[in-house]
Amino acid sequence: MPVKSVAEVFGNVWNSGAVTGSDREILRYAFLQERLSEEDYAAVDRLLHAIRRGWLQMV
């Protein structure tokens, strides 16, 4: 699997309107590697907020 940044995942998810299994795996890997910046944490928070509000779907 090619390594994507959190920003790339955020852009792909926001454009598609859905979080895929591979997107979740990339984000999980980033958290486990503890290589997230403040901007990355903010992007993940925005994604989670959008999911809770129904703006994005989990597929």
How much is the average pLDDT of 27-48? 90
Which helix (H) or strand (E) segment holds residue 18: the answer is strand 18-19
Is pLDDT above 80 for 3? Answer: no
Domain ranges of the chain: 6-58
Rounded to 5 degrees, φ, ψ at 3 are -80, 125
Report whether 6 contacts 43 (CB < 8 A).
yes
Q: What is the pLDDT of residue 23?
A: 95
Q: What is the pLDDT of residue 45?
A: 95
Tokens encoding 7: 């920003």
How much is the average pLDDT of 11-28? 95
How much is the average pLDDT of 31-57? 93
Cα separation, 49 vs 44, whole angstroms: 9
Amino acid at 28: R
